[in-house]
Amino acid sequence: MKKTILAFSRVSPSLLEPYKDDYDVIIISPELGDMDAQFEAAISNAHGLIGGSRRLGEAELAAAVNLEIVSSISVGYDNYDLDYLNRRGIMLTNTPDVLNETTADLALALILATARRIPELDSWTKEGNWTQTIDASQFGCDVHGKTLGIIGLGKIGEAIARRGRFGFGMTILYSGNSRKPKLEQELGARFVPQEELLSASDFVCPVVPLTDATRNLIGRKELALMGPESILINISRGPVVDQDALIEALQEKTIRAAGLDVYVKEPLTNSELFNLRNVVTVPHIGSATTDTRNAMAKRALENLLMGLEGRRPRDLVSTTK
């Protein structure tokens, strides 16, 4: 009997087409109606799940009696109840590495957009306000030669640091659980306590996974350590930053600006952030390029097939195998 693959999002039908002879393939789609209802109708038959951006735990998977593997098209896996999956003996995989450079590109885009006030001044111009030579009220701040503080110098953090150092001549500070001597030598990076990083950096960029230890890593205390000319960039996970505290800091201008790709609740449809000119908000697009999303889906498919074939997947997150 064929095993069943259930694709619940982010998967092009063409990616799974070559495997329909070997597997029963079910692809849920908004064109077919309520996606939650489609998922619930198919889950009991599924041996493998592939997709992203869906919370999966005991309530969602109780009926998944045949499930062997969940292959997530993402690096982060905080959407999944890892303890529950381990208890069930269900493998969980992710897609690290393939989105490092693309996500770092976005981080630099947010740095530039906030520093030079690009979205704000774009709207200002289109509203017909450019009637004479601009003055200091439209000035931004430089990026080149400034200090970039990265909290968590993993692979994405390293890619951001390289862009800052070699593209803009920035001084690199970093904090985290361990030192990176090779990167210190290559990038001239300096390992400092987080408090020093916050107070000394012109741009602060947390690049950490969401865990109990990193939830609200940047709160009122941390924002207060940042100067009134500093800018916060968040491309990691929304709850890493205390969003209410950030809104307060932006309103009171205790920090200069923020560039955000992630939020406490997503999608972000109604927020005080929308009323602030000193924040750039984009809709969680860190890996959202055609090339990168295709690469992530292909890697997730490789993980899925390896798991269903009884082999150890390349990017196993859970501890079941």
State residue 107 phi and psi, 5-degree precision. -55, -45
Distance between CA 228 and CA 257 in Å, rounded? Answer: 9
- State the pLDDT at residue 212: 94
- State the pLDDT at residue 10: 80
Four-residue CA torsion sign, 274, 276, 282, 284: negative
Q: Where are the domains of the chain?
A: 3-96+290-308, 100-281
Mean pLDDT score across all residues of the chain: 96
* Count of beta carbons in the 10 Å neighbourhood of residue 196: 15
Asked whether the predicted pLDDT for residue 321 surpasses 60, the reply is no
- State the pLDDT at residue 73: 96
Could you tell me what percent of the chain has a pLDDT over 90?
A: 96
State residue 176 phi and psi, 5-degree precision. 160, -165
pLDDT tens digits, 224-254: 999 999 999 999 999 999 999 999 999 999 9
Among candidate residues 237, 256, 293, 299, the one labeled active-site is 237
- State the pLDDT at residue 258: 98
pLDDT tens digits, 159-180: 999 999 999 999 999 999 999 9
Among candidate residues 116, 215, 284, 302, the one labeled active-site is 284
| Residues facing residue 281 across a β-bridge | 260
Entry pTM: 0.93
Q: Are 238 and 264 in contact (CB under 8 A)?
A: yes
Which residue matches tokens 């690096």? 75
State residue 287 phi and psi, 5-degree precision. -110, 10
147 Cβ contact partners less than 8 Å away, ≥ 6 residues apart: 170, 171, 172, 173, 200, 201, 202, 203
- The CATH H-level superfamily of 100-281 is NAD(P)-binding Rossmann-like Domain (3.40.50.720)
Among candidate residues 195, 252, 266, 309, the one labeled active-site is 266
Alpha carbon 48 to its chain's center:
24
Mean pLDDT, range 189-203, rounded to an integer: 98
What band does 111 get if pLDDT is binned at 50, 70 and 90? very high
Mean pLDDT, range 196-205, rounded to an integer: 98
pLDDT greater at residue 11 or residue 169:
169
Concatenated DSSP letters of 27-90 = E--GGGS-HHHHHHHHGGG-SEEEESS--BSHHHHTT-TT--EEEESSS--TTB-HHHHHHHT-
pLDDT tens digits, 43-88: 999 999 999 989 999 999 999 999 999 999 999 999 999 999 999 9
Distance between CA 43 and CA 65 in Å, rounded? Answer: 8
Asked whether the predicted pLDDT for residue 127 surpasses 80, the reply is yes
pLDDT tens digits, 254-275: 999 999 999 999 999 999 999 9
Range 3-96+290-308 classified under CATH 3.40.50.720:
yes
- State the pLDDT at residue 1: 85
- Tell me whether residue 144 is one of the annotated catalytic residues: no
What band does 318 get if pLDDT is binned at 50, 70 and 90? confident
Asked whether the predicted pLDDT for residue 3 surpasses 70, the reply is yes
- Tell me whether residue 195 is one of the annotated catalytic residues: no
- State the pLDDT at residue 320: 63
